[in-house]
């Protein structure tokens, strides 16, 4: 709530400052100054509102941690266009526009996340106690030569991406600071998650085993994962857009944008292990006036 109030105060201050600047100029100079973009201008903005990533499909669990090794199938869900909980304090991405004509602009918006954690194999230590092989370190060995057990690090790879390509038509306005527009977006969403736990546990079971009778040593092997597990989502769609930019200064503006109509089709795949069949889900979503963005931008 405090953040929202701060943003509102900034907006009101900006509008008041712009109005004061207009009032301090002569009527002739004020009416002749047009703040709106022209052919060849470039604008960039930060978008505030609901996020655009489609990331609600999870990777299947590993066999050792998953009862009966069940793939809990999920269909993709376009939560980025839900009707509730739009938050003006959330930075939802960036946007760039280039004006090919005074009233026509092409637009590119998007966001990208790449995360990669390589796997690290676990290490177990054993020692010979009489005729038995025992897991751990020999308590009778000096601490200086002890070798600890090392746990594993699971492989964790994430890629999240959304891209919006669109066009806008800007209307004329009696206000030299106000630039209303309508447009259309083509959207692409991509998610890829990969997990692999390299842990292998050797559990010894000895019966009168010694260094000269190694064949009597029995061991159980517990393998946590049999290969890389993955989840992938690919989505595409379009949006009709409408909004307005208000220029506080010749190179600074604030704006709002609404999406009167949105369609997204998404397909997901969940793979429990290499070589196995993937679980496939599909979802199509229609929405109207469910995604609104607040902008703070600049013009060059």
Give the DSSP letter of residue 226.
Answer: S
| Statement: residue 263 has pLDDT above 90 | yes
- Please report the DSSP string for 255-296 in residue order: EEEEEEEEEEEEEEEEESSTTSPPEEEEEEEEESS--EEEEE
Q: Which of 33-37, 107-111, 266-270, 291-295 is predicted with the least confidence, judged by mean pLDDT? A: 33-37
Q: Where residue 82 falls among pLDDT bands split at 50, 70, 90?
A: low
- Write down the pLDDT at residue 229: 94
> How many degrees, rounded to 5, is the angle at CA 252 between CA 246 and CA 257?
45
Q: Which two tokens stand for residue 256?
A: 């709002």
pLDDT tens across 209-257, in order? 444 444 545 567 888 898 999 999 999 999 999 999 999 988 899 999 9
- Residue of 197, 265, 267 lying closest to 232 (CA atoms): 267
For residues 37 and 165, give the distance between their C-alpha atoms in angstroms, rounded to a whole number. 19
- Write down the pLDDT at residue 7: 55
Element containing residue 10 per DSSP (H, E): helix 2-24
Q: Count Cβ atoms below 10 Å from residue 244 Cβ, excluding itself.
A: 19
- Residue of 188, 220, 189 lying closest to 202 (CA atoms): 220
Share of the chain above pLDDT 70, in %: 81
For residues 163 and 235, give the distance between their C-alpha atoms in angstroms, rounded to a whole number. 11
- Please report the DSSP string for 169-223 in residue order: EEPP-SSTTEEEEEEEEEEEEEEEEEEE---EEEEEEESS--TT-GGGEEEEEEE
- Write down the pLDDT at residue 209: 44
Q: Which two tokens stand for residue 169?
A: 């038509």
For residues 126 and 114, give the distance between their C-alpha atoms in angstroms, rounded to a whole number. 39
How much is the pTM? 0.78
Q: What is the chain's length? A: 300
Q: Which 3 state secondary structure label does DSSP give 3?
A: helix
Tokens 């092409």 correspond to what residue? 106
pLDDT tens across 38-70, in order? 999 999 999 998 778 887 888 998 888 777 888
For residues 150 and 56, give the distance between their C-alpha atoms in angstroms, rounded to a whole number. 33
Residue 99 contacts residue 38 (beta carbons within 8 Å):
yes
């Amino acid at each position: 709530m405090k953040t929202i109030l701060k943003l509102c105060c900034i907006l009101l201050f900006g509008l008041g400052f712009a109005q004061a600047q207009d009032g301090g100029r002569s009527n002739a100079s004020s009416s002749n100054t047009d703040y709106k973009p022209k052919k060849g201008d470039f604008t960039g903005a930060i978008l505030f509102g609901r996020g655009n990533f489609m990331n609600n499909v999870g990777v299947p669990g590993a066999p050792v941690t998953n009862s009966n090794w069940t793939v809990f199938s999920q269909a993709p869900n376009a939560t980025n266009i839900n009707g509730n909980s739009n938050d003006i304090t959330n930075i939802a991405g960036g946007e760039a526009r280039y004006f090919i004509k005074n009233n026509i602009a092409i637009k590119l918006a998007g966001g990208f996340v790449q995360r990669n954690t390589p796997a690290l194999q676990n290490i177990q230590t054993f020692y010979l106690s009489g005729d038995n092989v025992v897991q751990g370190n020999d308590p009778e060995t000096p601490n200086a030569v002890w070798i600890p057990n090392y746990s594993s690090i699971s492989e964790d790879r994430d890629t999240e991406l959304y891209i919006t390509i669109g066009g806008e038509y800007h209307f004329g306005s009696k206000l030299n600071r106000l630039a209303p527009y309508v447009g259309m977006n083509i959207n692409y969403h991509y998610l890829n998650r990969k997990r692999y736990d390299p842990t292998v546990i050797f559990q010894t079971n000895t019966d009168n085993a010694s260094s000269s009778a190694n064949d009597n040593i029995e061991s159980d092997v517990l393998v946590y994962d049999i290969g890389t597990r993955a989840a992938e989502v690919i989505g595409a769609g379009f949006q009709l857009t409408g909004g307005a930019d208000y220029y506080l200064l010749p190179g600074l503006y604030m704006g709002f944008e609404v999406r009167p109509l949105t369609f997204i089709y998404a397909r997901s795949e969940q793979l429990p292990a290499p070589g196995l069949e993937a679980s496939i889900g599909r979802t199509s979503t229609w929405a109207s006036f469910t995604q609104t963005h607040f902008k703070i931008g600049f013009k060059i």
